[in-house]
């Protein structure tokens, strides 16, 4: 009888231990853009650290924001620069303990301490890119240097652009020589007639995969994400990427930690992990945006580095600017573009 009781107690203790360990088992809830984090990177992380990664994806910053506001608990999210600004202002992010992320030193200083996170306390750049012009040089012989050339009227009906109202407005702002983050009635009024002339020239609005229309020949020019342009260039050198002379949007997709992240330790481990040069190159291989990791760039092939969409010339890069949060103006932009497109 005693014997039985003792074995029961042992079994019970084992059970409690097992449950306890599974509760505290190391895991990480990652909420990131779809098609932006290679599965190989996640597998390798788990293999090395034993931390299980729960990878959930979203298709827009807004989707991510509303899930967070709704109370979902994630350890890392992947907002674009102007969204970081919103989240910081709202107090939604936890500061990062940079002591736990020694690989942070690998990052290019050019992408740090920018206006959306001036003290670089809350975010770590993941990938960087621009929004520029792609030209099928087999079909278009005359040079296209900027928005003025693109929308000269010669290429009407042969253009694909992103389907994003703020981006559309930004191009007109550059064209009219206005600051892309100063959005008010006056600046918008100046941009309006420009867009009224441009929008009817666009054949397709598509944010998800603008490269498709270029690849299958529906259109010959486009304003697209640099990553899409880099893939086009890999496919065929005839697709040349041009950073508009008037200026272009630089976007910085970063990783950040929500205030209530339940696994902060694991989050820091992951941040340090992906900043390792040998890991970072894996991301570049799948998603040929600009890698902000200087050490990782040293490991890239010459071909990757020579892709002008991924790594534009230094003097071109000077014309790039990041987005700031624009508050209520987003609704005004939406109304204006809706109106102009409604007329098309």
Partner 1 sequence: MAGTIVATDTPAAGGRKPPGRAGWLLLAPLLAWLACFVVAPTAILFAYSFCQRDELGFVVWEFSWENYARIADPVYLKIFGRSLWYAGLTTVLCLLIGYPVAYYIARAPASRRPTLLMLLMIPFWISFLLRTYAWISLLKADGLVSATLEMLHLIPEPLEILYKPAAVLIGLVYTYLPFMILPIYTSAEKIENSLIEASMNLGAGPWRTLAHVILPLTKPGIFAGVLLVFVPSIGMFAVNDLMGGGKVDMIGNVIQNQFGQARDWPFGAALGITFLALFVISFWFLHDRGEVKRT
| 306 near partner 1, judged by CB under 8 A | no
CA–CA separation, 149 and 223 (whole Å): 12
Q: What is the Cβ-side half-sphere exposure of residue 93, based on CA atoms within 13 angstroms?
A: 27
| 71 near partner 1, judged by CB under 8 A | no
Helix/strand/coil for 63: helix
**158, 203, 249, 324: residue in contact with partner 1 (rule CB under 8 A):** 203
Beta-bridge mates of residue 251: 129
Number of chain residues interacting with partner 1 (CB under 8 A) = 34
Contact between 117 and 211 (Cβ < 8 Å): no
Part in contact with partner 1 (CB under 8 A); list of ranges 49-57, 146-154, 263-271, 322-330: 322-330
**27, 108, 163, 246: residue in contact with partner 1 (rule CB under 8 A):** 163
Part in contact with partner 1 (CB under 8 A); list of ranges 20-28, 173-181, 236-244, 333-341: 333-341
Residue burial 85-119, b: 16+ Cβ < 10 Å; e: rest: bbbbeeebbbebeeeebebbebbeeebbebebbee
| 182 near partner 1, judged by CB under 8 A | no
**7, 20, 89, 182: residue in contact with partner 1 (rule CB under 8 A):** 89
Part in contact with partner 1 (CB under 8 A); list of ranges 127-135, 170-178, 210-218, 271-279: 210-218
Helices (H), 80-215: 81-89, 147-150, 165-175, 185-198, 210-215
CA–CA separation, 315 and 317 (whole Å): 5
Our measurement of the distance from residue 252's CA atom to the centroid of its chain's CA atoms, rounded to an integer in Å, reads 6
| 65 near partner 1, judged by CB under 8 A | yes
| 327 near partner 1, judged by CB under 8 A | yes
> Within 10 Å of residue 20's Cβ, how many Cβ atoms?
10
**90, 105, 139, 154: residue in contact with partner 1 (rule CB under 8 A):** 90
Beta-bridge mates of residue 33: 58
**27, 164, 260, 286: residue in contact with partner 1 (rule CB under 8 A):** 164
Point out which residues bind partner 1 (CB under 8 A). 60, 62-63, 65, 69, 86, 89-90, 160, 163-166, 202-206, 216-218, 325, 327-328, 330-331, 333-335, 338-339, 341-342, 344
């Amino acid at each position: 009888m005693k014997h039985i009781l003792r074995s029961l107690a042992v079994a019970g203790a084992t059970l409690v231990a097992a449950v306890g360990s599974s509760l505290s088992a190391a895991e990480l809830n990652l909420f990131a853009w779809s098609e932006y984090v290679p599965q190989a990177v996640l597998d390798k992380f788990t293999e090395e650290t034993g931390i299980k990664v729960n990878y959930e994806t979203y298709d827009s910053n807004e989707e991510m924001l509303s899930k967070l506001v709704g109370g979902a608990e994630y350890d890392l999210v992947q907002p674009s620069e102007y969204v970081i600004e919103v989240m910081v202002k709202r107090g939604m992010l936890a500061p990062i303990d940079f002591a736990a992320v020694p690989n942070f030193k690998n990052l290019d200083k050019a992408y740090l301490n920018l206006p959306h996170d001036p003290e670089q306390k809350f975010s770590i750049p993941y990938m960087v890119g621009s929004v520029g012009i792609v030209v099928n040089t087999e079909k278009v012989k005359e040079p296209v240097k900027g928005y003025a050339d693109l929308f000269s009227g010669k290429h009407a009906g042969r253009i694909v652009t992103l389907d994003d109202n703020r981006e559309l407005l930004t191009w007109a702002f550059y064209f009219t020589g206005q600051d892309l983050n100063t959005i008010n009635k006056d600046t918008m009024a100046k941009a309006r007639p420009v867009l009224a002339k441009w929008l009817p020239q666009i054949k397709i609005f598509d944010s998800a995969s603008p490269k498709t229309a270029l690849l299958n020949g529906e259109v010959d020019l486009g304003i697209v994400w640099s990553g899409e342009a880099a893939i086009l260039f890999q496919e065929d050198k005839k697709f040349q990427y041009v950073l508009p002379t008037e200026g272009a949007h630089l976007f910085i997709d970063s990783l950040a930690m929500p205030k209530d992240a339940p696994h902060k330790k694991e989050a820091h481990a992951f941040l340090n992990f992906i900043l390792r040069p040998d890991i970072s190159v894996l991301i570049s291989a799948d998603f040929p945006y600009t890698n902000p990791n200087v050490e990782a760039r040293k490991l890239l092939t010459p071909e990757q580095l020579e892709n002008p969409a991924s790594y534009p010339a230094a003097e071109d890069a000077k014309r790039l600017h990041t987005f700031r949060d624009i508050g209520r103006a987003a609704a005004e932009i939406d109304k204006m573009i809706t109106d102009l497109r409604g007329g098309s």
